[in-house]
Structure 1
């Protein structure tokens, strides 16, 4: 249910979002002038591989998030119906399942978001090697050792504010469409 991420556009977005005035800058500044300039600069300096740097954090992010989303949605929806909070097939049961799923998605995806962002935004040397992290696992280990385990959960509130409503609405519409398709199909033998 979660949209897959692309490497180049995520990297450019991260560079541009981190960019600010030098007096208030935090982290590495890439100083791109525009979206197209960022793509061009990254491609010119590091080729196609440069556009995909950091994707090793993004791919597991989507896999883990999608797994958490679908597993918790079905379980939570069934649980609220079993406890008779809402009747089976009601929109309220779907909404409750989606809300629980949104929390699970935020909790499981945030560490991958943090790692992915760090990998995308790190400065690189002339041959394209990251100056701060050697890769996904090195990034996880450095964050955990220097910032503690909670360092992997930086921004979880913002992640939930983005993914919570997305998860609820996506699962609600998916469930409604599933019901419509089932209703349209002729009864089985």
Structure 2
């Protein structure tokens, strides 16, 4: 059940797998992987109890994705442990860890959807033609309900940072 033309990449229309989430929806469960002294799993259950910012990017090895991750990392620093903040991509967990170390990303966790793309399919962000995630932002409340969502219409563009940050701050 793809959403044809849901996003573009440098003007070319592309199809997103799955359905679009909306404010008020229960956030779908997921299993992401990250590297910290070995491969570890990160699930929705691990994040419940605090508001969560999920920043979805195609690849941390691209300029716009790096900018997005750095901006959110800086912006959520003041919130400390009041929220969860996670960057999600299909980059391997080892590459994500290398990027975070090289760029000083300390306030965002990273999660890789590389194994089975369950996040991309459940959150409606997997680009069928390219097999990468599209750019999107989700803010979840502490119970796991979607409080804010943005599917960035042009994959090569940055998201609207302020509304996403306002949403997570209002829940903190």
TM-score, L = length of structure 1: 0.23
Q: Point out the structure with the larger helix share.
A: 1
Give the greater-gyration-radius structure (CA). Answer: 1
Q: Point out the structure with the larger strand share.
A: 2
